Structure 1
Amino acid sequence: MVIDPSALVAILLNEPERRAFIEAIAAAEVCWLSAASLVELSIVIEVKLGPDGLDDLDLFLATAGVETVAFDHDQALIARAAFQRFGKGRHPAGLNLGDCCAYALARVREAPLLFKGRDFVHTDIRSALTGPY
């Protein structure tokens, strides 16, 4: 399973979806996070929670066994195509750069994506959960 930063933000900010996301991560055979997504996620967490939030993020990722995957050329091409097809201002999904990076890793790994929100439901990516989150 690939994890979009939106799911990890929900966990770290103790949002209502927190429990469902933690359970999905715990149940997954493997969890991947794009290195590009880690940068985006780190910026959001540091802004919202300060430097201590980054410690919490690192601890959660390590404890949950989330593997950070390098962002490579193949992913870059898939992310670019995802923006052309589903990008903000072009499509109801409205994917931004970070979304496109998570999308690309899910495509490369042929894995479902754990995410919060309604953006990815308008794409061809498979959700890791059923129901609105």
Structure 2
Amino acid sequence: MLIDASALTAFYASEAGSRELLRPIEAASIRAISPLGLWESAMALARIFSRRPGEASADLERFILRFRVEILNVDAEAARLAVAVHDRCGEGSHRARLNSGECFAYAAARQHRTPLLCKGDDFSLTDIEAA
């Protein structure tokens, strides 16, 4: 499964419903995240907890190690897919209003043919398989 920044951030920030996000993470045989999603989550957690981004990133690295999450490479195909999904579902063009990080999460999930774990309704308005 591909873990979106929204799920990772919600889990670390102990948002409502975040405990339910842990079950599919634990059950998945393959776990991955886009490097942009990891960055996006570190920036969000730094803002939420008034910490330096590097400190938030260190916490996320522990999560990555604990759950053996692969940080995917972003290649040309991922970039093309992200641009295409932004054309269809991006901010200003679709009700999902996917931002840049979400477009790359969608692209990575599509490229690797894996479901996407996220929090919120943005991706439910797209054709991506939910984890």
Q: Shorter-chain TM-score: what band?
A: over 0.9
Equivalent residues in 2 for 1:25-36, closer than 5 Å: 25-36=25-36
2-side partners of 1:72 and 1:17: how far apart? Answer: 33
Percent identical: 38
Q: CA RMSD, aligned part only?
A: 1.1
1-side partners of 2:59 and 2:39: how far apart? Answer: 15
1-side partners of 2:45 and 2:74: how far apart? Answer: 20
1:37 is aligned to: 37
- Which of residues 90, 111, 127 is equivalent to 1:108? 111
8 A Cα contact 2:90 2:98, kept in partner: yes
- Give the TM-score of the pair, scaled to structure 1: 0.91
Give the count of matched residue pairs: 128
- Which of residues 70, 74, 95 is equivalent to 2:73? 70
- Give the TM-score of the pair, scaled to structure 2: 0.93
Query: Which structure 1 residue ranges, 4+ long, deviate > 4 Å from structure 2?
Result: none
State the SS of the aligned residue for 2:45.
Answer: helix
Unaligned runs of 5+ in 2: none
1:60 is aligned to: 63
- Which of residues 78, 101, 117 is equivalent to 1:98? 101
Q: CA offsets, 1:53-102, max 9 Å, x none?
A: 33321111210111100111100000000000001111011101000000
